[in-house]
C-alpha cells in the first residue's frame, strides 16, 4: 500500500530535514497524514529528550510543531489544487515563523499526537494551528506560518 504521509513524497533533494526527512538517519523522520480535515503526526520521544526528568524537552515539541506545520502546509496546498500529493510538480514548504505556547509539562514515555488545522491558505503561504497531546490531554499549542519553497531549492541549486 502506498504511504499516506506527505514526507514520503518530498523530493530526495529536500528530504534531509532532521525533523521530517526520510533520508536523515539521525533525525526524527516524522510522518504527517490527513485525518478528515485535520492533519496528524504521532511521535514517541526518546528517554533522553528530557526537559526536567520525566517531561519532554520544549525544543523537541517546537521541532515537531515546526515540521508538522510544513507537512500540513504541503498537504493543504495539494488538496487546494485538487491534486494527489505524489504528483508533479512537487510542493514543499519552509517555515517563516513558529509560535509555541507551553500549557503544561508534557510527560515522557507516551506517544505524542500532533493535530493540525489550516487557518489560512493564500498564494504561497499556509498558516496552521497545531495542538500537541499526551495521554489525551493537550500540553502545547503552536502556530506555523509556512511558505512554499522556491523552485530553485527543489532543483538543488544553491540559494
For its own copies, how many residues bind (rule: CB under 8 A)? 43
- Write the DSSP symbol of residue 157: -
- Report the residue number, 39 or 45, with the smaller CB distance to its own copies: 45
Beta bridge partners of 39: 34, 116
Min dist CB 24 to its own copies, Å, is 6
**Could you tell me which of 26, 159, 3 has the C-alpha nearest to residue 94?**
159
The interface region with its own copies, picked from 36-44, 71-79, 101-109, 129-137 by CB under 8 A, is 101-109
d(CA 93, CA 72): 9
Subset of residues 74 to 93 that bind its own copies, contact rule: CB under 8 A: none
Instruction: Say if CB 45 and CB 112 are below 8 A apart.
Output: yes
**CB of 46 or CB of 86, closer to its own copies:** 46
Collapsing DSSP to helix, strand or coil, 71 comes out as helix
Binding mask 23-62 for its own copies (x = CB under 8 A): -xxxx------------------x-xxxxxxxx-xxxx-x
Residue 100 binds to its own copies (criterion: CB under 8 A): yes
- State in angstroms the smallest separation of the CB of 87 from its own copies: 21
CA 111, chain centre distance (Å): 16
Q: In 2-156, which residue ranges form alpha helices assigned H by DSSP?
A: 58-80, 151-154
User: Which DSSP helix (H) or strand (E) runs through 155?
Assistant: none
Footprint of its own copies on this chain (CB under 8 A)? 13-14, 16-19, 21, 24-27, 46, 48-55, 57-60, 62-64, 66-67, 94-102, 105, 149, 153, 158-159
Amino acid at each position: 500500500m502506498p504511504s499516506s504521509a506527505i514526507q514520503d513524497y518530498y523530493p530526495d533533494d529536500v528530504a534531509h530535514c532532521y525533523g521530517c526527512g526520510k533520508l536523515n538517519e539521525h533525525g526524527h523522520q516524522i510522518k504527517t497524514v490527513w485525518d478528515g480535515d485535520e492533519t496528524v503526526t504521532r511521535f514517541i520521544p526518546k528517554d533522553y529528550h528530557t526537559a526536567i526528568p520525566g517531561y519532554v524537552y520544549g525544543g523537541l515539541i517546537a521541532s515537531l510543531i515546526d515540521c508538522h506545520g510544513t507537512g500540513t502546509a504541503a498537504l493543504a496546498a495539494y488538496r487546494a489544487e485538487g491534486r494527489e500529493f505524489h504528483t508533479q510538480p512537487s510542493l514543499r514548504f519552509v517555515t517563516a515563523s513558529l509560535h509555541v505556547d507551553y500549557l503544561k509539562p508534557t510527560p515522557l514515555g507516551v506517544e505524542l499526537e500532533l493535530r493540525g488545522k489550516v487557518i489560512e491558505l493564500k498564494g504561497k503561504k499556509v498558516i496552521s494551528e497545531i495542538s500537541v497531546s499526551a495521554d489525551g490531554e493537550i500540553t502545547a499549542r503552536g502556530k506555523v506560518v509556512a511558505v512554499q519553497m522556491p523552485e530553485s531549492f527543489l532543483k538543488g541549486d544553491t540559494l
